[in-house]
Structure formats: structure tokens, C-alpha cells
Amino acid sequence: MLLILLGPPGAGKGTQGSLLADALAVPKISTGDILREALRKGTPLGLEARRFMDAGELVPDTVILGLVKDALGSAEAAEGAIFDGFPRNVAQAEALDELLARLDRKLDGVIVLEVRADTIVERMSGRRTHPDTGEVYHLTHNPPPPDIEHLLVQRPDDQEETVRHRLKVYEKATEPLIEFYKSSGVPVHHVDGERPIEMVQADLLSELGR
């Protein structure tokens, strides 16, 4: 299955994407995770991406499309994948369509996680990430094991002002993709992302007929 997870920053795309990838036995392709890993390793890609990410802006499309092409071409993704955080604008969606047509593959659906802005700001302020594994927790809603809590870090782009800017970028550049896919005939599933993590996952699987 080839699926796209859409939703504002902090909607739970990464959390649900990991659970869904396990349930469907396909990899999760998260452009944000790939960029953060490059940043952690200090590669040229990471250094180029840093200023965009810290400011809550989108990284240039050419950089992102190269990453996605590699990830989708991997043997691991031969049976499908969950896109988390990609595509982010109409140009990326059109480029993905072209890539899929060349590979003779097609999208099975788009899942839109719906969450209110106030919830998002609260989620971001409590989000903590393990710097080595990339595992994501929330101090209240998804607490980390006590023995690793001291190791966890907060993402630099999770400061309230940057989060509010990322929300504006989402509304302007990414939200139009909902109509883009509806008018392309790709099934678009809306899921209430405000419910507890396990309930969101159950709703999502049921939307997909699983």
C-alpha cells in the first residue's frame, strides 16, 4: 500500500505513521526524519537544510525530491510505503505523480489527520525526542520510560513562535493538497486526530478497511 499522511505540524503523522508502517509491514518515509538524521550527522544535506528547518520554512523541493526518489526506489519500499511529511506543496505532489507514473505505481490513498491549532501548540511543547533512536514521546500523552527521560531533547523548531509559523506554512502550502488529491480521484480519508493515540490508529485502520 502506498499512502500519504497529511496534517498540520504535530497532528501525529510521525506517531501514526510508525504504527501504520508496522501494521502494514511497509516502511515509513519521513522527509523530516531523514533531514534531522542528516543534521545530526552534520552532512552537507543537513547543513543546507538547517536554516530552513529552524525557521519553520520548507526545505527546497529539489533537495526533498532527491531524498524521496532514493527512499521509494529502495528494495524495502517495493511493496509500499507510508509518506509522512511529503508531499508538502503542489509542486512536490506533481513531481511525486510523475515519479510514480515512471515506476508504474499508484497511490492508494491520502489520510488527513485533523487537529486544532491549540492542541498542536500543547503537543509541541510536551514533545521530546530520543537523540539517537529518533523515538518520539510526549511528557503527558505518551510518557517516556523514566530511565531515559534525562536523555531526551526538544526539537529547536518546537518553540511556540516557530510552531505558529509552521502552521501558517501548512495552511498556505500543504492544505491545498487535500483538494489536489480529491480532484485527482485519489481516496482521501479524514481522521479525527484529537483522540488518544491508539484510538486514532484504530480509526485509521478501519478507514483503510483493515
- Which are the catalytic amino acids? 13, 88, 127, 155, 166
CA 163 – CA 126 distance, rounded (Å)? 13
45 binds ligand AP5 (CB under 6 A): no
Residues in binding contact with ligand AP5, number by CB under 6 A? 36
State the DSSP H helix or E strand holding residue 183, giving kind and residue range, or none if neither.
helix 176-184
The set of cell numbers assigned to 44 is: 552537507
End-to-end, the C-alpha distance of the chain in Å comes to 12
We find the least distance from the C-beta atom of residue 101 to ligand AP5, in angstroms, to be: 19
Candidates 6, 24, 35, 191: give the one binding ligand AP5 (CB under 6 A).
35
What is the spatial distance between Cα 46 and Cα 195, in angstroms, rounded to a whole number? 34
**Interface with ligand AP5, residue 127, by CB under 6 A:** yes
Residue nearest to ligand AP5 (CB): 32
Query: Exposed (0-12), middle (13-18) or buried (19+): which is 51, by Cβ within 10 Å?
Result: exposed
Using the contact rule CB under 6 A, the part of the chain among 38-46, 181-189, 191-199, 202-210 near ligand AP5 is 191-199
Residue 90 and residue 180 in contact, taking contact as beta carbons nearer than 8 Å: yes
Among 9, 21, 177, 188, binds ligand AP5 (CB under 6 A): 9
Residues that bind ligand AP5 (CB under 6 A): 7, 9-15, 31-32, 35, 52-53, 56-59, 64, 85-86, 88, 92, 123, 126-127, 136-138, 141-142, 157, 166, 193, 196-197, 200
